[in-house]
Amino acid sequence: MILAAVLAIAGTATIAAGPPGDAFYVPPVRLPPGSDGTVIWARRFTGGAALPSAAINYLILYETTSASGRLVAVSGTLAIPRGEPPAQGWPLISWAHGTTGNGPQCAPSRSAEPNIEQRMLDGFVRRGYAVVQTDYEGNGTPGIHPYMVALSAARDVTAIVAAARTIDPQVGRAWVVMGHSEGGAAALATAALGQRLAPGLKLLGVVAYAPLAFTEEMLQNETRNGTPNDGLPIVVLMLQGLSTVDSRIVPSEILVPEVVHLMPELARWCLPDVQSSSQWANLVPQTIFRPQAESAIATFYNDLLINDPAYFPIAVPTLLVQGVADAVINPESTIEIADRYRRHGTPVSFKAYVGATHGSVLAAAASDVEAWLAQRFIVGV
């Protein structure tokens, strides 16, 4: 039985297996009493996102506190390595994924096949790391994903660590956070906030691959841009995400009606589908903002600035990874983050990979990241 498989490892608590199929992602009307990391239900997982080198994979529905302060359900996965754990438990990586889009089918745990991130993560499971992957609030589960809301992402990424330790107490207290693109920003936010959010755990460091940052500059550029481009849906996703946590952000006060009418598509489609849609692909950015919306746009700009990880104070060791051939995140952006961190005392390292793209940098940096992580656990445990 699936439930028995969960109990055999958990040992200390009864964890429901949850309903079958996609109903797993629909939380109960009333969440069980708890706090960040409370497991609602969990079951053995064999889907496309399961890491093949793991001894066992779990699909998890867990609780976290939203940026608005209420408990919400978030989905994710846990992969446990083969063999016996070290004396202090399995070292843990909490992974934050890149932008997938807001359609429920876009959540990594719902993927029919492993993506480029999961293929990289499988190598770390093979090396003896437990790996958790949050889908984020509103990705997979009902609702709107608070895209690029730093506190929301940090809570999602941190709470799943506590959930993992409930499911398998052999997962250790020491952990690192890693992420790519949107997830790179989430990882940096977690590095700044994670120890405060989970003081009973031990955050040892952060690895951010091509982190999405300076989004306020993206907004500013799009308001002046006369050329259709793939970045425009990203800005609208950020607007939609921020509107869930800041009542001052009202999309209809910022965007022209034609674009407001397109926004429901963001909750149904994955990002590549949105970017390739003729309706979105042909939008001229500077024409989608309402006339006389300067004040509302300024509020949007300030919210992006507040959530920009480039300005966060980070005390834990930080590794920034960037492909020089990245056409999605400008390498100069990541260099600027590294420079800012150094100026403010963050122990930061920067690794650039000639020829590596936004996706291929994950594999290109694997051996360097592994050596960096090994050092963190040797020093920090």
Angstrom distance (rounded) from CA 294 to CA 263: 21
Residue found under tokens 């999602």: 156
Output the pLDDT for position 22: 94
Angstrom distance (rounded) from CA 269 to CA 292: 31
Q: pLDDT tens across 302-333, in order? A: 999 999 999 999 999 999 999 999 999 999 99
Cα 327 off chain centre by: 20
CB of 38 closer than 8 Å to CB of 49: no
- For the whole model, what pTM was predicted? 0.95
Residues with Cβ within 8 Å of 219's Cβ and at least 6 positions away in sequence, in order, are: 235, 238, 297, 300, 301, 304
Task: Return the domain boundaries, the chain.
Answer: 2-213+309-380, 215-306
Tell me which amino acid residue 95 is. Answer: W
Residues with Cβ within 8 Å of 254's Cβ and at least 6 positions away in sequence, in order, are: 239, 289, 290, 293, 296, 297, 300
CA nearest to 52, candidates 125, 129, 107: 125
What is the maximum span of the chain, computed from C-alpha positions, in angstroms?
Answer: 63
Output the pLDDT for position 200: 94
Residues with Cβ within 8 Å of 306's Cβ and at least 6 positions away in sequence, in order, are: 150
Measured in degrees and rounded to the nearest 5, phi and psi for residue 98 equal -75, 175
Angstrom distance (rounded) from CA 247 to CA 258: 22
Measured in degrees and rounded to the nearest 5, phi and psi for residue 168 equal -135, 100
Count the Cβ atoms, other than its own, within 10 Å of residue 96. Answer: 31
Output the pLDDT for position 47: 87
Q: What is the DSSP letter of 215?
A: H
Output the pLDDT for position 381: 55
CB of 318 closer than 8 Å to CB of 347: yes
Count the Cβ atoms, other than its own, within 10 Å of residue 196. Answer: 10
Output the pLDDT for position 173: 97
CB of 149 closer than 8 Å to CB of 187: no
Output the pLDDT for position 141: 95
CATH number for the domain whose boundaries are 2-213+309-380: 3.40.50.1820
Report residues of the chain scoring pLDDT below 70: 1-13, 380-381
Q: Which residues pair with 202 in a beta bridge?
A: 174
Count the Cβ atoms, other than its own, within 10 Å of residue 1. Answer: 9
Measured in degrees and rounded to the nearest 5, phi and psi for residue 68 equal -85, -5
Angle, CA 322 vertex, CA 52 and CA 271 arms, to 5°: 65
Output the pLDDT for position 1: 33
Share of the chain above pLDDT 90, in %: 90
Count the Cβ atoms, other than its own, within 10 Å of residue 128. Answer: 16
Output the pLDDT for position 304: 98
Please, what sign has the CA dihedral across residues 272, 57, 146, 158? negative
